[in-house]
Amino acid sequence: MIAASSQVLSFPILSALVVLPLLGSIIVALLGKSRPEWVKLGALISSVTTGALSLWLLAAFKSGEAGFQFVSQHLWISQWGISWHLGVDGISLFLVVLTGILFPLVIVGIDPHHNETSYFAWMLLLQAGVMGSFLALDLFLFFVMFEIVLVPMYFLIGGWGYDQRVYAATKFFLYTMAGSAFMLVGIIATVALAQRDLGVITFDVVKIAEGASFSTNAARWLFISFAIAFAVKVPLFPFHTWLPDAHTQAPTGGSVILAGVLLKMGTYGFLRFGVYLFPQAAMWARPVLFTLAVIGIIYGAIAATMQRDLKRLVAYSSVAHLGFIVLGTFALSSQAVTGAVIQMVNHGVSTGALFLLVGMIYERRHTREIAELRGIQHVAPIFAGVFTVVMLSSVGLPGLNGFVGEFLILIGSFESARWWTIVATVGVVLAALYLLWAYQRVFHGEPDEANSSFKELNAKEGLLMAVFVAIILFTGIYPKPMLERIEPSVNSFIEHVEGRTK
């Protein structure tokens, strides 16, 4: 069994964040047969409790501290030096909170229409996996969580998606699994090489990053093996082709989670594992990653402009936004990385909200074709208003959350990646172009017959969107509490990188 560590803590909050949804998933699956009417309630209780715990974590998190907090470490597989090792710092904190909040919203807000039991069970299992990925400080544990996420997501896309769902789900599974195949070899090689410096076999990422030194050549290969996995997950151009399919075919809930938190596992992985473990190799690979990121920004924007399907448009806009995050991550200045971390959360909020809205449009009109929609602003002004706020947040309008992250990224990257940053700035303009153009086509004009009966937001939908709008506004107007918590960790991270690359 898992041996108790010497560390005595009052309440293992991080473990609870992972275990609670897992338990919820099992309970929901068991309830399905005997008490189908309690299934949704069970899923709700489990996810809301997890969300509340994550908020409590946010409140209890000591701002101004750089290191990992609430660390819990228990030996798991002693022979291989593997432990159940969780911890949270400024870089992961808001992603954990986002995961905590987004899941209950999706569970409350979106009705799966059929097979409720398995839908909610997979959803909760997914939450456990995502939480674990953001909290794991053990390479093996991280890999387990990173990989296990594929299973529920596969079933969610395949079981509740649209026409091409099986194709999209399989593509998603295989692409991501292929990426992580390289990472598994990389992880094992990292541990084997680190063993020579550390004297013990351990998968502890902090110990390896602080204590081990890899030869230049080895570090580059190892970095590449990690980078492939994360590049597929993010996804970076040219590994992005699974994303538009997965997004378009996934049910709304799946899309929200996919865009909101799943993709962040890639960008977060780059920071926490790729750069942290192999700073020199990351420096060496920078030009390539900058280039891919910028190609992604421009390509994503152009592709988004050309889409006829509203959901596909949002999916391509994700490719562009994640390009910004990767640019900021590898600029490796304090501002840029802080911006990247903030932008991870922001993108989760605004793109998640966009997918929700597109989902609502589909529910009402049973189409996502931009050409089929017209003049919705006239019949559903509140809906249009919410859409405007969310869209402008995605564009990066000052005063809304998207601006904070994008601005920091661009400023922070200008020094180390000047020309790339200049090109990336064009992407900001393009984002305004494709989103506003889409807005214009969908919401402006006179509604035709089919669109004139477009229903306004109902109370539940309104409350749901209110949460998103509140986060968007709060972060945009008063980002200080967020920055206070993120910056110390980022600064010490940058110090680590600079210390290693001098």
CB of 144 to other proteins, least distance (A): 4
Distance between CA atoms of residues 391 and 87, nearest Å: 34
Distance between CA atoms of residues 71 and 64, nearest Å: 17
Contact 419, 429 (CB under 8 A): no
- Check residue 23 for interaction with other proteins (CB under 8 A): no
With respect to other proteins, which residue has the nearer C-beta, 87 or 158? 158
Q: Which residues contact 418 (CB under 8 A, 6 or more apart)?
A: none
Q: Which of 85, 165, 311, 368 binds other proteins (CB under 8 A)?
A: 165
Contact 412, 328 (CB under 8 A): yes
User: Residue 49 carries which DSSP code?
Assistant: H
- Check residue 184 for interaction with other proteins (CB under 8 A): yes
- Check residue 423 for interaction with other proteins (CB under 8 A): no
- Check residue 254 for interaction with other proteins (CB under 8 A): no
- Check residue 200 for interaction with other proteins (CB under 8 A): no
Rg over CA atoms, the chain: 22
What long-range pairs does 489-492 form, CB within 8 A, spacing at least 24?
489/66, 489/67, 489/89, 489/90, 489/91, 490/90, 490/91, 490/334, 490/337, 490/338, 490/341, 491/66, 491/334, 492/66, 492/67
With respect to other proteins, which residue has the nearer C-beta, 10 or 34? 34
- Check residue 203 for interaction with other proteins (CB under 8 A): no
With respect to other proteins, which residue has the nearer C-beta, 222 or 389? 222
Structure tokens at 159: 């079981």
- Check residue 189 for interaction with other proteins (CB under 8 A): yes
CB of 84 to other proteins, least distance (A): 11
Distance between CA atoms of residues 243 and 233, nearest Å: 9
Please choose, out of 164-172, 209-217, 243-251, 283-291, the segment that lies near other proteins by the rule CB under 8 A.
164-172
- Check residue 302 for interaction with other proteins (CB under 8 A): no
- Check residue 478 for interaction with other proteins (CB under 8 A): no
Q: Which of 41, 185, 306, 429 binds other proteins (CB under 8 A)?
A: 185
Strand boundaries in 9-81, DSSP class E: 69-77
Q: Which of 6, 79, 215, 217 binds other proteins (CB under 8 A)?
A: 79
Distance between CA atoms of residues 329 and 494, nearest Å: 11
Distance between CA atoms of residues 279 and 269, nearest Å: 13
Binding pattern to other proteins, positions 368-387, x when CB under 8 A?
Answer: --------------------
Which whole-number Å values give the CA distances from 450 to 311, 364, 366, 377, 437, in the listed order?
20, 10, 11, 14, 21
Q: Which of residues 88-127 bind other proteins (CB under 8 A)?
A: 118
- Check residue 470 for interaction with other proteins (CB under 8 A): no
Q: Which residues contact 103 (CB under 8 A, 6 or more apart)?
A: 21, 47, 50, 51, 123, 124, 126, 127, 257
Please choose, out of 71-79, 291-299, 326-334, 476-484, the segment that lies near other proteins by the rule CB under 8 A.
71-79
- Check residue 411 for interaction with other proteins (CB under 8 A): no
- Check residue 19 for interaction with other proteins (CB under 8 A): no
- Check residue 166 for interaction with other proteins (CB under 8 A): yes
CB of 158 to other proteins, least distance (A): 5
The residue count for binding other proteins (CB under 8 A) is: 33
Please choose, out of 177-185, 233-241, 294-302, 457-465, the segment that lies near other proteins by the rule CB under 8 A.
177-185
Q: Which of 55, 192, 463, 477 binds other proteins (CB under 8 A)?
A: 192
With respect to other proteins, which residue has the nearer C-beta, 10 or 217? 217
Distance between CA atoms of residues 160 and 249, nearest Å: 9
- Check residue 330 for interaction with other proteins (CB under 8 A): no
With respect to other proteins, which residue has the nearer C-beta, 41 or 178? 178
- Check residue 159 for interaction with other proteins (CB under 8 A): yes
- Check residue 298 for interaction with other proteins (CB under 8 A): no
CB of 304 to other proteins, least distance (A): 29
- Check residue 78 for interaction with other proteins (CB under 8 A): yes
The 10 Å CB-count burial string (b at 16+, else e) for 66-92 is bebbbbbbbebeeeebbbbbbbbbbbb
- Check residue 306 for interaction with other proteins (CB under 8 A): no
Three-state DSSP state, 85: strand
Cross-strand pairs, 85: 73
- Check residue 85 for interaction with other proteins (CB under 8 A): no
Residue 308 C-beta-side C-alpha neighbours within 13 Å? 4
Footprint on this chain of other proteins (rule: CB under 8 A): 1, 32, 76-80, 118, 143-144, 147-148, 150-151, 154-155, 158-159, 165-166, 170, 173-174, 177-178, 181-182, 184-185, 188-189, 192, 221
